[in-house]
Amino acid sequence: MNNEVLVVGSVAFDSVENANGSVQRVLGGAASYASICASYFANPRVVAVVGTDFSEQDRAPFLKRGVNLEGLEVREGKTFHWGGSYDKDFNTAVTRFTDLNVFQNFNPVLSEAQKNAKAVFLANINPELQLSVLDQVKNPSLVACDTMNYWISSKKEALLEVVKRIDVFFLNESEARQLTGEYNLIKAGRKLMDQGVKYVVIKLGSNGAMLVSQEGLAQLPPYILEHVHDTTGAGDTFGGGFTGYLASLKKWNSLNAIKRAMMIGNVMASFTIESFSVDRLADLTQPDIDKRLKEYTSMLKF
C-alpha cells in the first residue's frame, strides 16, 4: 500500500514505577508505541528484535491494530528490558536498569517490501543503525527520525550524518541544546537545518512541541489532561502519530500539514499517558480520536 510506514526501533519490556503505582514487564519500546499509534493513520511495518520470552500475548496489541510484524525477528535469549521511575511531575524518568539482551546485537536487514516503504520512522536507536537503514531504503518520500541524549554523547558524528539525510528530526529541548550548543531553541533548530534536515520538531514535554522550518515557526500546546497516569512512550507516540498522518497524505511537505501532524502527535500522546504501557493507545476508536481532536482544536481558538 502506498501509505506504508516502516518503523525501525525497539520492542521491549518496561518496568515502571510512579506516583500511580508500578508495573512489571509490560509492553514498551519506541517501535511499539510509534507503530501502534501510526496504525490509526497508515499501515505500519515494524523492524525490531525480541527474545524467545516474547509471547503471543505480547504480540496481541500489534495484531489488534493490524501492525505488520513480518520484520519482528525472534532470537534466542531475552527481550530488551528497561526499568525506570518518575517523580510526581512525570517530566523526567530516572533509569534504574537497562538490560539490552538480544537488542544489543540488533542489525536491521530489510526485505524488498520494507525497502520500498513510502515513509520511514527511525525510532530512538543507535544512529549507526539508522544510517544502515537509510542505506537500504530505496526512495521514501518521507523520513523522520528520533534520538536521545545518550546517542548525542556517544555517537554525535554518526547522528549528524543521519540529520543530513532526513526530512523531520524529533528531539527534546535538552537534546537540541546538547547537540547544537545553542540554548535558544529557535537558534538550535536553525543550526540543525543548516545540517540538511528540513523540519525540526522540538518536544517540550508538558509544554507541547515547537517547529522550526524554512516556512515558519510554530509552537503547539499539549492536550490538557486532568489526570496523567504514566508518560512513558509519549514522545514515541508523538513521532508515530506525526509520521503516520503525513504518510496518509498525497503531499506532506507543507507548513499546514506539518502543524496538523504536530496536533495529531500531541493528541495521540495524550491517550498514551492515560495508562501504563500501550493499554489505552491500542484500545482507541476513531470517534475517540475525532472527539479529542475537536476538543483540542477548540482549545486553540479564542
pLDDT at site 88 = 81
Whole-prediction pTM:
0.96
In this prediction, residue 140 has a pLDDT band, given cuts at 50, 70 and 90, of: very high
Model pLDDT for residues 239-292, shown as the tens digit of each residue: 999 999 999 999 999 999 999 999 999 999 999 999 999 999 999 999 999 999
Residues above pLDDT 70, as percent of the chain: 99
Tell me the pLDDT tens digit for each residue of 76-95.
Answer: 999 999 999 998 878 778 89
Using one digit for the tens of pLDDT, what is the confidence trace for 144-154? 999 999 899 99
Contact 210, 177 (CB under 8 A): no
Query: What CATH number has the domain bearing residue 19?
Result: 3.40.1190.20
**Predicted local confidence at residue 184, as pLDDT:** 97
Q: What is the band of 143 on the pLDDT scale with cuts at 50, 70, 90?
A: very high
Please check the confidence at residue 232 and state whether its pLDDT lies above 60: yes
The grid coordinates of residue 76 equal 534466542
Q: Read off the pLDDT of each residue in 36-47 and give the average, rounded to a whole number.
A: 98
The answer to whether residues 85 and 18 touch, using CB atoms and an 8 Å cutoff, is yes
pLDDT in tens, 24-38: 999 999 999 999 999
Which residues pair with residue 198 across a beta bridge?
none
Return the minimum-mean-pLDDT range out of 19-23, 63-67, 205-209, 246-250: 205-209
Q: In what order do the strands lie in the sheet with 199-203?
A: 68-75, 43-51, 4-8, 119-122, 142-146, 168-172, 199-203, 209-213, 217-220
Domain count, the chain: 1
Residue type at 131 in one-letter notation: L
Share of the chain above pLDDT 90, in %: 93
Question: Residue 302: pLDDT band by 50, 70, 90 thresholds?
Answer: confident
Confidence tier at 60 by pLDDT (50, 70, 90)? very high
Closest CA to 201 of 183, 219, 223, 215: 219
Q: Structural domain of residue 270, as residue ranges?
A: 4-300
